[in-house]
Amino acid sequence: MGRYSVFSLMKNALSYHENWQAAWHSPKPKKHYDVIIIGGGGHGLATAYYLAKEHGITNVAVVEKGYLGGGNTARNTTIIRSNYLWDEASQLYELSMKLWEGLSQELNFNVMFSQRGVLNLGHSLQDMRDIARRVNANRLNGIDGEVLGVAEIQKIVPLLNCSPTSRYPVLGASWQPRGGTARHDAVAWGYARAAAAMGVDLIQQCEVSGIRTSAGKVVGVETSQGFIGAPKVGCVVAGNSGVVAAMAGMRLPIESRPLQAMVSEPLKPCLDTVVMSNAVHGYISQSDKGDLVIGAGVDQYNGYGQRGSFHVIEHTMQAICELFPAFSRVRMNRQWGGIVDTCPDACPIVSKTSVQGLFFNCGWGTGGFKATPGSGYVFADTVAHDRPHPLAEAFTIDRFTSGALIDEHGAAGVAH
Amino acid sequence: MLKIHCPYCDEQREEEEFSYSGEAHISRPLDPGALSDADWADYLFFRKNTRGWHHEMWQHSAGCRRYFNVTRHTVTYEIFESYPMGTTPKALPKGDAR
Ligand SMILES: Cc1cc2nc3c(=O)[nH]c(=O)nc-3n(C[C@H](O)[C@H](O)[C@H](O)COP(=O)(O)OP(=O)(O)OC[C@H]3O[C@@H](n4cnc5c(N)ncnc54)[C@H](O)[C@@H]3O)c2cc1C
Ligand SMILES: [Zn+2]
């Protein structure tokens, strides 16, 4: 695989950019692999990459029913932060943050990771107490964070309405300077390209329709391109986790819900950080292209339709206009939904299952994009060694039986 | 936005009047003391999360405040019927929703 660099760019410019190598191949599936990853989203591709890179397991197939990164990876608002409340969660997201910080270099692919900082606004005394508690917890865990007052916030985001007479006045915020955004597609493509270069087969347009087991062990998967054998299968299918679990006769503590987002027409640069508010429920950033990227709340009902109800985005627009009156005239360009796999405690499941060789990595729900590198890292380790990675020990499926839930609802400021 | 029929008010109203309450027909354990941890986990947390026709509970929270069940398709979001608590749903429509 050729390296991307300023020299390769110049060289290819001479041939009018017509001779770039394909970033990966689209092979026919082999009969047998050491590991099959179901789901070619960011998490699945990252898992395949770390299996090859950290564990030398390269006889791996990623089986994707659509195209790479076309699920929630393509649909999210790309907010990255690690300021979660509880030790277990914050350590997992912080691992991810550290991996993000070196990812473009590691993958030789610009994932456009931009540490522009994340503000989580507080609008009530209780919000401010929760923020102080969370920031203190973060700092004890070695994660950057500050509690800001209104004057400091106003300096960072001049357009934000901090008037004391607004309906839900801004009283302060938590500020994580290392937080920010990344380019969603680039993350999937970067992992895909780097994994393929180490020998991983990326098989697109190939839907898994069954999981074959024998004597309590997984032996492979039925797909639209025939049976593919493997002694280990990792399921990383986000919103479709329940569907794939049912193929193995299992249920999960997960419900799939629509989550919506939208982008505006492109504007001149006006917002150079990420602003989130749990109380009025909206979150917003501006992409490098100039569009405002706005995320809504999760719809209340189970749904696989990749669309939600209009009143949900209407509420979000109300919140955004309340926070940024200047945006009230901006027109929205596109709106869409993804299917998020929500867990009762808003934390993921990275786990072995009762079927030997069958693993699940799911439940990242409304906030898993930020976790893409860390999720792949700990899941690859879990699959390779057939035991949870130390940072994933608290996230096994057994916590729903033992009762050791990790309640990150609201504790992390806002759900994304 | 879903349009939901409340079988008690006998009115078709907008989704915003209603609150979703999850999978229907999960009965409360009759003898809670006899339940194992796994049974509790199953009752509290594990769900079918059906892709297709789904029996689910809704509450008419801005209306009569009563709970009832709805059969809805989780891909097309088409609603087949609403029926009062304690009654059995009609046979599911054949095949996929429209
Ligand atoms: C609107 C929205 C906004 C969000 N905002 C944020 C945010 O700001 N920050 C953040 O951290 N997170 C956010 N998230 C959450 C984040 O997008 C997800 O948690 C994360 O992208 C999940 O990645 P994944 O790779 O597991 O899933 P996906 O990208 O969904 O990948 C799963 C893949 O599995 C494939 N698949 C499913 N079933 C099968 C099958 N039977 N056979 C083969 N393949 C199959 C799918 O086609 C899909 O490509 C948001 C989500 C949405 C929808
Ligand atoms: Zn009613």
Ordered DSSP codes for A154-200? HHH-TTS---TTSSS---EEEEETT-EE--HHHHHHHHHHHHHHTT-
Name the one residue in this structure whose structure tokens are 């009018």.
Answer: A16
Coil vs helix vs strand at A18: coil
Question: How far from A410 is each of A78, A179, A206, A403, B33, CA to CA, in Å?
Answer: 19, 18, 37, 19, 32
Q: Is A255 within 8 Å of B72 when comparing Cβ atoms?
A: no
Burial of A216 (0-12, 13-18, 19+ CB in 10 A): exposed
Tokens coding A95: 């691992």
CA distance linking residue A87 with residue A139, whole number of Å: 11
The pLDDT value given to residue A413: 46
pLDDT at A410: 63
A311 to B1: CB separation less than 8 angstroms, yes or no: yes
Please report which confidence band the pLDDT of residue B95 belongs to, taking 50, 70 and 90 as the band edges.
Answer: low
Pick from B57, B1, B64: which is nearest to A315 by CA? Answer: B1
The whole-number pLDDT of residue B98 equals 47
pLDDT of residue B92: 85
Closest approach of chain A CAs to the CA of B48, in angstroms?
A: 6
- Where chain A has pLDDT below 50, the residues are 412-414
- The pLDDT of residue B96 is 59
First to last CA, chain A: 35
Please give the Cα distance from A409 to A411 (Å, whole number). Answer: 5
The domains found in chain B, sorted by start residue, are 3-84 (3.30.2270.10)
The one-letter code for the residue type at A113 is F
Q: What is residue A23's DSSP assignment?
A: S
Ligand 1 pocket: which of A184, A362, A366, A414 to mutate (most atoms within 8 A of CB): A366
**pTM for the predicted model, two decimal places:** 0.97
Alpha helix (H) residue ranges in A293-407: 310-323, 372-385, 399-402
CA B58/CA B63 separation, integer angstroms? 12
